[in-house]
Structure 1
């Protein structure tokens, strides 16, 4: 079973949850997800830093990343995650929608 960290911009959080569900149920992948602020909590700078550190640690633990690319948009943070994954020999899989 492959493990992927899902990467994408948070404006597509609902889509990423559905994609993660489909990947686990249809493909048998293990998907590590981002933290989603269900209650529209705005994190502090310190919390954002901790979340970023945790996200990169998830990439370290994964076989690769699964990039959610809706409407052809990949943001700056996701581009950095792609570069990090490649630098560390991780597979990069793109989901186009």
Structure 2
């Protein structure tokens, strides 16, 4: 059985929810979850580091069947909006924590 591979997308301000959903998606849904690295909360990143992480996140999306957007209270930041657009361009499924209807 092929497992669905999903990349998490969301603001690190929701780090606890990101961790919770990573665990739930793997244990309850059987997904292979590609996560977000936690160290970005500990310090300000240089522009080079931000660009590198953005590029790496696109590669994670390329490797995935879908992205899972952690949109707590409907919040989607600018970088996550760009990730959603990228995923759409690549024909990836977009799954939201909270529906926008």
TM-score bracket for this pair, using the shorter chain length:
over 0.9
Match of 1:54 in 2: 56
C-alpha separation between the residues in 2 aligned to 1:13 and 1:57? 21
- Partner residue of 1:64? 66
How many angstroms apart in 2 are the aligned matches of 1:39 and 1:50? Answer: 16
Mean alpha-carbon deviation: is it higher for 11-20 or for 36-45? Answer: 36-45
In structure 2, the gaps of 5 or more residues are: none
Give the alignment's TM-score, normalised by structure 2.
0.89
- Partner of residue 22, structure 1: 24
TM-score by length of 1: 0.93
Query: After the TM superposition, which segments of 4 or more aligned residues of structure 1 sit over 4 Å from their partners?
Result: none
**Post-superposition offset of 1:44:** 1.3
Alignment match of 1:40 (pick from 34, 39, 42): 42
Match of 1:89? 91
In the comparison of the two structures, how many residue pairs are matched? 97
* 5+ long unaligned stretches in structure 1: none
